[in-house]
Chain A
Amino acid sequence: MTRIGAITVLGAFVVALAGWKAIVVVGGLPPFILPPPEAVAGRLVEALAEGTITPHFAATLVEVVLGFAVGAGLALVIGYGLARSALVERLLSPYLVAAQATPILALAPLLALWFGPGLLSKVVICALIVFFPVAVATMVGIRSVDAGLLELGRSLRATRRQVLTTLEIPAALPSILGGMRVGVTLAVVGAIVGEWAGAERGLGVLVNLARGSLFDIPLMFATLVTIAALGVALYLLVILVERRLVGAR
């Protein structure tokens, strides 16, 4: 990022914080409706120091990472099948679309019932929500491979495996990583939804605790900020991978 770019981003952030503060002051809002930014920041630092957030954060992070890995991994395989076989596409796509069209919020209680209140149900929910965007991106990416390059591969007697590793994957990579950008933020959503459907630990649980029995609204906001930060950090991580893998074209 250029210096000017960095200053712009920082400036926008400051403006957003100032706007938040202005709404609190002008609206005369009590802290249990909207605490001012400095109160949230203070509570966040305090919660981190006390170790209130850390175990919940760790639980959610594990769910997101595992769920993303499973969901994206399956999506790569199925997405490739969808791209290369009309039969596979015709057989599978109605179910995939139906699964995607059913709100995850409605499915989560059922999945929690099936897979228990532990890690497994969250991983399943995350995987389910990550799967669709990555599978579609993989399918589109693999289909976009230039037919001329495939003919070149054939003329050079490339094996199926060589076609996959030297032509299809590199050509589809920008599209796949685009799908993963969407997928990784959805994975965070999936983990929180899964935790709401029943869990002992996790940032979603902490939001519920702070709102309910603890009635600590600044803590709730601090938790929300943590969730958002987790999503942003994972998103940036994917962008970093993208820069490394496809930056120099």
Chain B
Amino acid sequence: MTNRAGRVSVVDVALTFRRSDGPLLALDGVSLDVEPGEIVALIGPNGSGKSTLLRAIAGLLTPDRGGVTLDGRPVTEPDPAVGLVFQEPRLLPWRSVAANIAYPLELAGWPRARRDARVSELLELVGLEGAAGARPSQLSGGMRQRVALSRALALEPRVLLLDEPFSALDALTRERLNVELLDLWARTATTGIVVTHSIPEAIFLADRVIVLSARPGRVLADLPVPLPRPRDMSTLDDAVVSPLARIVRRHLEDVAA
């Protein structure tokens, strides 16, 4: 593994969508810093621009004002050092699980042998060795999202961005995948930014919870999570009842009011 930095800086980002019914200001003056290896949760009401902010960090959207840097370099387009997991798995339905995980490697021009070796590593990492030849349509929702996760990790990114990755799954699968995600993060030492709607999920996963306001999105609060690591399933209960949960909720309620 190369230099495992992964520092993300967002400086005074404003972003407007030009739509047919007029411009829509999605983000207005958002600034935040994420240290290498740190995990940050973005939480906010609908329309607070959480996903927009994530896409700006991923280089998929260009801010009108301000900018994003990754390890000091400005982000102007998608960067191989950034892995992205969407709300939906977004798997290629005509490809097997293994071929889906190999997709980023293929696009990046990796030779066959190296690709195959990396895919085996990734399948093992997310516990999908047995499903390598299966089609996405044969998998459960949780397994599909695991495939998407390993695809995002394929190029050994320094930063992993997740856009409500498990929100479409049932509660139990979601909890299990969150535990797996923490484990994965511990093993790959990636910086993480995760967008979520769930207060306990944000607290359970993150070192810091950043609360965004309603449209246009601004940073309302930046709250450190006092729970120790490593965390496991029992930490999840602590996350639900932690005083921090109440604070985050109050911020969100203020926004809604």
Binding site for B on A (CB under 8 A): 146, 148-149, 151-158, 162, 166-167, 170-171, 246, 248-249
Q: Which residues in A have their C-beta under 8 angstroms from that of B106?
A: 166
Q: Interface majority SS on A: helix, strand, loop or mixed?
A: helix
Q: Which residues in A have their C-beta under 8 angstroms from that of B93?
A: 249
User: Is B84 in the interface zone, CB < 8 Å from A?
Assistant: yes
Q: Size of chain B's interface in residues, with CB distance under 8 A?
A: 20
Residue pair A162, B107 in contact (C-beta under 8 Å): yes
Residue pair B90, A156 in contact (C-beta under 8 Å): no
Q: Which residues in B have their C-beta under 8 angstroms from that of A157?
A: 77-78, 80, 107-108
Picked from B88, B94, B103, B135, the residue with its CB within 8 Å of the CB of A156 is B103
Residue pair B135, A249 in contact (C-beta under 8 Å): yes
> What residue of chain A has the Cβ atom nearest to residue B155's Cβ?
A156
Task: Supply 11 further A-B pairs (C-beta < 8 A) apart from A155-B58, A157-B80, A248-B135.
Answer: A146-B90, A148-B86, A151-B90, A152-B90, A154-B60, A156-B78, A156-B108, A157-B78, A249-B93, A249-B94, A249-B137
Q: What are 13 A-B contacts with C-beta separation under 8 Å?
A: A149-B92, A151-B60, A151-B86, A154-B78, A155-B59, A155-B60, A155-B84, A156-B103, A156-B104, A156-B107, A157-B108, A166-B92, A249-B135
How near does chain A come to B30, taking the closest CB pair, in angstroms? Answer: 20
How near does chain B come to A186, taking the closest CB pair, in angstroms? Answer: 28
CA distance A188 to B41 in the complex (A): 62
Binding site for A on B (CB under 8 A): 58-60, 77-78, 80, 84, 86, 88, 90, 92-94, 103-104, 106-108, 135, 137
Q: Interface majority SS on B: helix, strand, loop or mixed?
A: loop
How near does chain B come to A172, taking the closest CB pair, in angstroms? Answer: 11
Residue pair A167, B92 in contact (C-beta under 8 Å): yes
Q: Which residues in B have their C-beta under 8 angstroms from that of A246?
A: 94
How near does chain B come to A150, taking the closest CB pair, in angstroms? Answer: 10
